[in-house]
Amino acid sequence: MIARFSFYDLIAGVIPGILFLWGISLLSGWIKIPLAGGLAETSVLVALAYVTGLILQGISQGLTEKILLKIWGGFPSARWLLPDDNKFSKEYKSKIKKAVEDKYSIKVGGELSKEEQIKRNQEIFYLCYNAVDKEKLSERPQIFNAHYGLFRCLLTTFTLLFLSDLGVLLFSEPQKKSVIFGVLIFTTIGAVVSYFRTKKRGEDFAKSIYDLFLVRFSE
């Protein structure tokens, strides 16, 4: 358990935190980040990066994810069960709903508005997720979810650095314009890549939960 926590802590907290601090140190002339030093300096850097990463995680979950859901029209786990969505076949969606009904003795169908369907479908997904997690069927969903959190946090980090870099270019006269433009290109590419990886890992997470649930609980 400690090893798993440390792994998630590293990829989802410390790495975005260090990246953000490094980017800010390049953009500002008065903030200096000790990227090299002894044990004491390294410990301070890791602690500062971890706290910064926690703040970035909070922003990515509270703000970035809400923006992404507006763009996507909801989580893929909820969208894919809509009648007019083509990601899954009608047979596949029927099997999921039938397996949920059989396992939990609840009715998941009915005439609902799209907003209510999205909410109901996400509840179905949570039931599937809890069943898969309880049975410990595979570690793949947890890995996908950890990657989703990492790339969502990186998307937030690159976006904030891009906006900071743009502000420096527009409202000040930086001495090292080549560095500023380099950071601008780097953060733009990083934000684009992080967005698509966030989308992909979110979809991988949802698909793995549904697949594992059907394999285990579907007749």
- The model's pTM is 0.86
Torsion of CA 108, 111, 113, 118, to 10 degrees: 20
CB 41 within 8 A of CB 171: no
> Rounded CA gap, 112 and 98, in Å?
18
What is each CA distance from 7 to 11, 13, 23, 35, 146, in whole angstroms?
Answer: 6, 10, 23, 21, 9
* Residue 119 C-alpha from the chain's centroid: 20
Q: For residue 122, which amino acid is it? A: Q
Number of domains in the chain: 1
Where in the sequence is the domain holding 122, given as residue range(s)?
2-217
Q: pLDDT tens string for the chain (219 positions)?
A: 444 545 666 667 788 888 888 888 777 655 556 555 566 666 777 788 888 889 999 999 999 999 999 999 999 999 999 988 999 999 999 999 999 998 988 887 667 788 889 999 999 999 999 999 998 989 999 889 989 999 999 999 999 999 988 888 877 776 677 778 888 999 999 999 999 999 999 999 999 999 999 999 876
